[in-house]
Amino acid sequence: MDTPIYNYVQKYAAKNGARFHMPGHKGAEILGCESLDITEISGADSLYEADGIIAESEKNAASLFGTAKTLYSAEGSTQCIKAMLYLAVTAEESREKPIVVAARNVHKSFVQAAALLDFEVVWLWDENREFSLCRCEITPEQLENTLKGLDRKPAAVYLTSPDYLGGTADIKALGDVAHNFSVPLLVDNAHGAYLAFLDEPCHPMRLGADICCDSAHKTLPVLTGGAYLHISEKAAPFFRENAKGAMELFGSTSPSYIILQSLDLANKYIAAGYPQKLRACVDKVSRLKRQLKKSGWKVYDSDPLKLTVRASDSGYDGRELAELLRENGIECEYADPDFTVFMFTPENRESDFRALTEFFTGTPARQALKKDILYMKLPEQIISIREAVFSKTERLNAENSAGRILGRTAVSCPPAVPVVVSGEKINEDAVKIFKRYGIKYVDAVL
């Protein structure tokens, strides 16, 4: 596959000409990659008015992902999430405040979008399930009942899948429900770019999402910040026609050409046998999961490139387990009191797999830890997300915050999933959950 952005920059750097343009390093090798870090000079195209090498490269990505349109982001899914919500809430003209129906396990960029775009959120949440920060399992019936109960049509249904633990939503069934109500389905697929290349593709765009974002940098060999916004053939033409403008609204006017080259090269990497490498990697991860289970470890049912150890059910605090691993030269992606999460790609070496296997077969799983089972009543929304985010606030110890209204959202990062959302009254359940996830301070509205 052609790599027009990469080719252009290689040629330009090889010329070693006089650079009287940004960036200020002028190609001098200080970090080591400056010669490849350029700006929108003649021939280099421009991300938000792309009609040259960037447009060509984005078309290559769209053909690989099988989408009507794929746009690049050099600022992560964070930018794409805001853009897709902007598209949804501006698609139909209405004098009323738009509503977005969202499963509660959103990344904080969703809340930032709600503040910037001033939409109302109807949360999908099951108060009767044990609380877990990253999970929010939604049934089609639950979505249908929520949509039936609304007094006006929402701008979108919004899901996060896979979540940080690797849990996935039934996108096909939930999308069918949303579409029966003529509502578009938006998916935060930040953790699932690779899903398009499995033997049985289960990427949200194949399962019925109208728009979705992928953090290319999370599961593909792409530099941090590289992401895609995908738009489906079936989505309203408005989405395709306005997508670049939406991305521009939330992006820098200086997107990194290093990241754009990395996205460009990923096309070639994917086209040159990535599905085969992925299959081999998925098989190795499945084998590893089976080995852990045989050794007594409890393993969560996750997407194929994640291994999520149910640490507390295996007798360890997840953070304690992460520390033990660190002492053995192994760094996980995420740990909380209950889970320790590992992310794999075909770029992991045999020795990485060996190290993890040796650790888990050589470390005994123990009796499940005794723990308080936490539940979370959905906090009452007192003022809008926008009002709360733009309010004056005071910083409080989280343990003394019950009864106060949250200003800017308090999250531990990762996974950057809010316990309480801006504008909600912090309840006693939330205070216990702050403690469990190590959230020490909150900004309360004055």
Ligand X SMILES: Cc1ncc(COP(=O)(O)O)c(C=O)c1O
List residues binding ligand X (CB under 6 A): 76-78, 107, 109, 160, 164, 188, 190-191, 215, 227, 414-416
Nearest approach in angstroms of CB 4 to ligand X is: 24
Q: CB-based contacts of 390: which residues, under 8 Å, 6+ apart?
A: 115
Nearest approach in angstroms of CB 154 to ligand X is: 20
Nearest approach in angstroms of CB 421 to ligand X is: 15
Cβ closer to ligand X: 132 or 215? 215
Cβ closer to ligand X: 35 or 112? 112
Q: Read out DSSP for 65-124?
A: HT-SEEEEESSHHHHHHHHHHHHHHHSS--SSPPEEEEES---HHHHHHHHHHT-EEEEE
Nearest approach in angstroms of CB 187 to ligand X is: 10
Cβ closer to ligand X: 135 or 425? 135
Q: Which two tokens stand for residue 217?
A: 């940098």
Q: CB 17: neighbour CB atoms within 10 A?
A: 9
Query: In one letter, which amino acid is 270?
Result: I
Cβ closer to ligand X: 71 or 236? 71
Report the SS3 class of residue 418: coil
Cβ closer to ligand X: 52 or 221? 221
Residue number, nearest CB to ligand X: 76
Residue 25 to residue 29: CA distance in whole angstroms: 8
Residue 109 to residue 99: CA distance in whole angstroms: 17
Query: In one letter, which amino acid is 288?
Result: L
Q: CB 360: neighbour CB atoms within 10 A?
A: 23
Cβ closer to ligand X: 74 or 426? 74
Cα separation values, 44 from 12, 53, 238, 260, Å = 10, 7, 27, 11
Cβ closer to ligand X: 259 or 376? 259
Nearest approach in angstroms of CB 186 to ligand X is: 12
Nearest approach in angstroms of CB 438 to ligand X is: 17
Nearest approach in angstroms of CB 264 to ligand X is: 18
Residue 279 to residue 41: CA distance in whole angstroms: 40
